[in-house]
Structure 1
Amino acid sequence: MAPTLPHELEELVLCHLQYDPAALKACSLVCYRFRIASQKLIFRNILVDFSSSSSKTARSTPKVSPFLLREFLTATPRIANSIRGIDFIADSYRLQDLDATFLPCLPFLENLRSISLDTNSVRPIYWQHLSLHAQRSLYSMSYSSRIVAMRFRRVFELPVSLLAECRALEALSLTSVTFQQENMLRNPGGTWTPSAQSQSPRLKSLHLSISHDAFRAFTELFTGSPALLDSTALVRLSVTIFSPRFDYARLHDFLRTVGSSLEVFCFSPMSPLTVSSSPRLTCMHCPA
């Protein structure tokens, strides 16, 4: 009998190919054991494109048609259990497709850990343009204590409570976003307050690429009283600010709040008045 490795070791070896989809696809054709281990890595993150114009950029993430997503998950429950992350590319003119295609698929995604919402259209996505069903579903995912990573790009009027109540959140990326009802950040006793039993998310990684006004509002999530986001475990921080005049004092106060555990910090101020010049990027490893 030919010697075989334990299944755990085979999975460990195949993990070294997790960023090489072509190699994983080839391994999935070798034998049944390799197919199971390879498919776990191939479908760990999937891309669901709701936009009318598909992106031409080469992606390592498998792309699944949104209109066949439910049939795909129903026919392959083992693959559905392997999905850890979903990247949504939505068109602001076709947000109703989320209700018809994605929401019925949520019961199949029991092991989902990360979500991403992006758009290819010129017009950004406004939170209030999402249906109430879609908003409640996103809130339910946050409350489930399963989601550990979130990424939003070009989503306007994003509610603060969606982030502050995601108790398991560890990695957060915000690009070109604005926040809903920013006045409640300065007055936590106003529109919304965290429940007494809730625990603030302890972020380990944070990426911000936003305007100065959005940065000013976001920093109050950390420096306000009570703080809606816990920064005591933050290890990686990347900040890009778009503003003709940047308030370095606010950044200084922000770093004083998160600096105790910070190991890597990248900062890139970008002014619209100097678009011809390349942005200044400062990346440093903070001492322990």
Structure 2
Amino acid sequence: MAHHNRSGASRATCPQELIELILGNTDSADKQTLKSCALVARSFRPPSQKLIFSDLTILPAGRDSIAALQRLADVLSASPHLALHVRTLHLVQPDFHKPCVWMKSDIIPPVLSMFTNLESLNLRIYNWDSFHSTCEQAIYALITRSFLSSIEVKGARLETNARLLSLLRYLPAGLESASFLDLFAEYWSSLDDPSSPSAELQQLRLTSLHLDSIAPALFDWAIRTVDVKFLRHLHTMVNEDTMDAIQQLLDVAVYVETYHLSFWSIFSHDENPNLENMQGLRTLEITVKLDWEEIEEVEGQDRHNPLNDAMRTLKTAPHTVEHLVLNLEVWNPDELYHFMESGSLEHLGEDRAALRDVVVRIVSRYDHSAALQRGIRYLEGVLYHLHKKGMLTVVTVRPPTYK
């Protein structure tokens, strides 16, 4: 397509749909490239801005200052339509050991009120009790947005369960996915009981729920408010304090298709999670932390071996399971043999006709590549019957550092 200017010369133009298609393939996290694209031509600016602001972080590490926050407020005040592009918002406390600037600033509440089309909210805030009250209320207002479909709360330390329940009460009925990772409430009060009449909690039809936490009140909330008929993806971390509540969830989670179970270090509960009621289960993932020094401290008792706990849980899984993932978190892969002496893995997958594949991940930060390879070969030998059938994949992965 050509466009003729007044001088009679023509210049090539590009259909707007094609421009948006090209920019749509640009990584929204690559802000610098998108900012350059916005300067190419007037037709490039709106789609570039839409991507730049679709995923917004307040404030990234190294930019936590009043000046940076004020610049963001000035930009949105001058061009309020940009706030309508924000679909995913990350509120980050860059330093876990001290409150950051935006948590105590009166600049942030008016900014947050502009994100009316928010769909996903990620809160990575450690010192929750250090919030300025107006800032905390602005976050609660964000949570109530009708378009909000996903929320993640990570690393929060709350003074009481009452603060936790205050957050949970604001979750909207339309929420589809909720993740609570490494969340802790310091102490319990009778006024914090989520089953008490005064605790007005919204009934939720979540399809995905992730409870990687040791806060019992969080599990009590899930039992009371989550309609498990809609739940398809579930992730829980189990320890002695949360075992009974998790079992209550599992007993009614008949429609869950994907379940990820993490064992908290050494699991020494008298019973293991029982999955027999999860008749819709297709993918089962189990994560265990293997620490030989801790095992030695309890004199090698079998019930204290996390791998044995995992295998006992696996035996209760329905025969509908098609995909099995086992994550073995171990520092030195050469220590794997300490946990395999009981033969807990040798008969893995037998008598399970539906099972299609087994993935075993050695999760390790160990730098010795030869030890990592030995770990892979060792597990291939232990699970030779699966390896021979082509059903086994053993890999090593390095977990990302916690930020």
Q: What is the TM-score when the length of structure 1 is the normalising length?
A: 0.71
Counting aligned pairs with the same residue, the percent is 22
Point out where structure 1 has 5 or more consecutive residues left out of the alignment: 56-63
Cα shift at 1:4 = 4.6
* Residue 241 (structure 2) pairs with residue 236 (structure 1): no
Cα shift at 1:177 = 1.0
User: Conserved in 1, the CA contact under 8 Å of 2:122 and 2:152?
Assistant: yes
* Residue 33 (structure 2) pairs with residue 32 (structure 1): no
Decide whether aligned partners of structure 1 residues 23 and 232 sit closer, same or farther in structure 2, where only a CA change above 3 A counts: farther
Decide whether aligned partners of structure 1 residues 276 and 263 sit closer, same or farther in structure 2, where only a CA change above 3 A counts: same
Cα shift at 1:66 = 2.4
Alignment of 1:63-212 (within 5 A): 65-90=68-93, 91=95, 93-94=98-99, 97-98=102-103, 99-119=105-125, 124-127=126-129, 129-157=130-158, 158-167=163-172, 168-179=174-185, 181=188, 183=190, 186=193, 188-194=195-201, 199-211=202-214
Point out where structure 2 has 5 or more consecutive residues left out of the alignment: 3-12, 268-288, 293-305, 315-320, 325-353, 355-403
User: Conserved in 2, the CA contact under 8 Å of 1:237 and 1:265?
Assistant: yes
User: Conserved in 1, the CA contact under 8 Å of 2:175 and 2:205?
Assistant: yes
Cα shift at 1:85 = 2.1
Secondary structure of the structure 1 residue equivalent to 2:209: strand
What do the CA deviations read for 1:218-257 (whole angstroms, capped 9, x no partner)?
A: 222232xxx223333223222234x4x5765543321233
Secondary structure of the structure 2 residue equivalent to 1:43: helix
User: Conserved in 2, the CA contact under 8 Å of 1:239 and 1:267?
Assistant: yes
Indicate the structure (1 or 2) with the bigger Cα radius of gyration.
Answer: 2
Alignment of 1:237-256 (within 5 A): 237-241=234-238, 243=239, 245=240, 250-256=245-251
What do the CA deviations read for 1:80-121 (whole angstroms, capped 9, x no partner)?
A: 2211222122256335643333113133322223322224xx
Cα shift at 1:70 = 0.7
**Structure 1 residues 231-240 or 13-22, which shifts more?**
13-22
Decide whether aligned partners of structure 1 residues 219 and 111 sit closer, same or farther in structure 2, where only a CA change above 3 A counts: same
Cα shift at 1:271 = 0.4
The aligned length equals 258
Secondary structure of the structure 2 residue equivalent to 1:17: coil
CA distance in 1: counterparts of 2:69 and 2:133, whole angstroms: 20
Q: Match of 2:259? A: 265
Q: Match of 1:60? A: none
User: Conserved in 2, the CA contact under 8 Å of 1:200 and 1:230?
Assistant: yes
Cα RMSD after superposing both structures:
3.7
Decide whether aligned partners of structure 1 residues 34 and 50 sit closer, same or farther in structure 2, where only a CA change above 3 A counts: closer
Q: What is the TM-score when the length of structure 2 is the normalising length?
A: 0.53
Decide whether aligned partners of structure 1 residues 151 and 4 sit closer, same or farther in structure 2, where only a CA change above 3 A counts: same
1:14 aligns with one of 18, 23, 27: 23
Letter in 2 for 1:14: L
Secondary structure of the structure 1 residue equivalent to 2:148: coil
User: Conserved in 1, the CA contact under 8 Å of 2:106 and 2:134?
Assistant: no
CA distance in 2: counterparts of 1:44 and 1:12, whole angstroms: 16
